[in-house]
Structure 1
Amino acid sequence: RGINPPAKILNRLVFKSLATSKGISMMIIWSFAKHAFMIFWYRYVKVLNLILPSIVVQGKRLVVFPDVYKPLENEYACADYCRQGDRVLDLGCGSGVGAVFCAPKASELLAVDINPSAVKNTAENCRLNGLNNVRVKQSDMFSGVDGKFDLILANPPYLEADFQDKDKQFATSVRYLPMLFAQVGEHLADDGRLLIQYPMWFRGLIERLGAERGLKLTEVRRMPLKSPGLLLLSLLYMQFGFRSAFYLLEPMRTPQARRLAA
């Protein structure tokens, strides 16, 4: 009596197989639906950026090119983590909001993006704001980056979806986070900091990925609340509900951690 009859064992195996098959089918359907929606969304955002080609952030006007991410999450607050005289890397600079607000404190700032249009957009906004300590160049993650930095700004795409086009990397990617943590240790100064903007509910993931590479999560802070106007604009762009936060990570001070970072 304590042993299941063969028929019951077979039924369980069949049920488990069906459940697994159903789960895989649902994942395929979800992946397809997400990909289809993002194709529409990128086109929709391009039209909106043509209609609304600029945004005012903390009194600074930023132009936003059609195929570039518009800053809608109060990204300017990343400058709170920039110290006077820091050497800063803005990894995935987009329209250049991080560069524009950090450059007045930085000794020098390198802004890079995989999208050539974003590179031109950042350069234009730095020019409009009279910044002369910012260098802008095209780079796929760290591929075109040399040297070490006191502060690295990272604003990974929030959605996992595989798009190859360079102008579709600001909201969707399957490789940004893995590549960031795999290579960031080579470009952080000994007392450098990595500042990531990402949704609040991914704290465990960020903490784990950092620990695997010798980085300690030292602070998690919600981004500033949006003004009513910015909230309405976010709704128009279908960008809401993410509960974005700043994650500050710093190198651990142990020999093992240094080996992980390397």
Structure 2
Amino acid sequence: MDTVEMMEVPPVAKQATAEKRQRRERGSINPDDIIKGAFELAEQVGIDNLSMPLLGKHLGVGVTSIYWYFRKKDDLLNAMTDRALRQYAFATPYVEAKDWRETLANHARTMRNTFNGNPILCDLILIRSALSPRAAKVGVKEVEKAISSLVEAGLSPEDAFDTYSAMSVHVRGSVVLQRLREKNLAGEDGHGDIDDTMAFDPETAPLLAAVTQQGHHLSASDDRNFEFGLDCILENAARLIEQNKKPARKAPARKR
């Protein structure tokens, strides 16, 4: 740091200098800068509250500089979703045929943990669910690899598709329920779900009262519910693979 920077500057002058330094020159911003800044801002205010004027202020540019590349908020969110999906796809482990059960379970758990750990990713890919053709193509390639591995493991193409689809729906449903619960709790009413707002009467619902008192949840998306559902999907797939291994019975020879 040189001598000039160490000199005391009046507060008003400091503010003016900071604003001048933060303000970018016209034409000095590009789409990558805007998308990166949008992710930074979304971490602070959320996807729902992200706006072009707020983003312009965050980046230190006029809002027209953003509209030059992204005509509306949906266009910007589509670009953010493209980037998020590519990063997510590369971070998700592959499903391997030789140990399909372990790798599919690991695939599901990693997918769930990734979304639960990144609300912005969840809002963009799962809740918003508006993928550009390019982003959708990236997702299709990853699903094709996983289903191909399940076919190699012994499932029919139809059963492999249904197994992966069931796993994917189970993961996404679990994550979205958890995310919506968080949003509801953060709202003005502060209500999460049925497990947060009521207790079961032992006289009218003795089974529900007894089980929920042990820590089970009826509608909340917790680890216990997730693992139970995942195990059911894996067990069904294992049963189908075993069935496919059994040799087909030969039809009895016709009598002449």
TM-score by length of 1: 0.24
Higher helix share: 2
- Structure number with greater Rg is 2
Higher strand share: 1
